[in-house]
Structure 1
């Protein structure tokens, strides 16, 4: 069974960027194979990884209504198409949920992704799931057992409180999480004492482990606005080395 790492946090905190960096870290540190899952309907993890996506699970779900060959069982067709939807790369594969059909609830699409994940994850050492904002979707995905929940916040007191509220949903949603982490992203180089005190108080109150602080990175910003993959970030980049140090801390508890 794969070590499951789920990322959560409100929009705009750098959650997807963190997910892409974590995938790169796992691959470059030899922790393979990795299954990267973009479970956010507003999918863009593939762009940060430099991959083209041809088929999403949302599209496959629609195919099940009209395109199943008469000679093939529905379950077999689904499994075949899910494997075809995997975007293969060196050391890792990517699976994208995509948009469900029409307006309204995403529950059916989440249920479909859940079925696919249960079968796929047995073939991987690690699974990194980039989620939409909030936590309820983790329950819909049937991800009731998570090794590491990594909640990403910006470096503001309000952002940290929002991250704590997201982490607090673990209990009412009946999720079994081995380790809950807080990553404060886009932090100043010198962490203000007041911010650090606030972060540590919130972590203690919500049973969160402070993974650490990541600074702003002009190079990451440059790559993102130019639609370049994060693999182009130099291995000697101070920001990347800082991120890898934090990821090693997280993996040491696996």
Structure 2
């Protein structure tokens, strides 16, 4: 009987300990993220002061190659040495008189170029934790039905991966993919010219040239025959 009570007490204690640990794990994860320095040269900083949607701080601030971001009023500030918490505190303190609400949210952004056969090709700032699916959705999808399977991920004119389709299908984040600012996603455009298009344009000219050459040769041959007959 005493042994059963001890077993029950041990089970309850372990259960309570498990609940406490599960509650602390998100907090530990949050704190570890707050100690990182997520802002890098060439990236951007997204700032939002919800619910004040009209604040001049609600935008993406580019980070130059030296690690500085230029903010309104104060000018350039070195941000690559800051954690997310540091950045939030800096913005709250610096722009205190301009903030209607004490809410400031920041996150790092990376630059991506979506080129070729997308509905809305262009240059975008995106969350590094976004998936490749999110990025393609941002560009309105591909114009070709098989455009997803023909996408290329390029970095400095070289392919960063042979096939990005698995990343797209699994919803893999850009961070997990190893994505960096300046990388490009390209897919063929349906109106892009191919070798066959060029040949189709050139073929009539070639045909005309051959026809003229044949006519000229025929004329020369007839002239020779006429001179021979005379």
- Shorter-normalised TM range: under 0.3
If you compute each CA radius of gyration, which structure gives the higher value, 1 or 2?
A: 2
TM-score (norm 1): 0.21
**Per chain length, whose mean CA-contact separation is higher, i.e. which structure has more relative contact order (CA < 8 Å, sep 6+)?**
1
TM-score, scaled to structure 2:
0.23
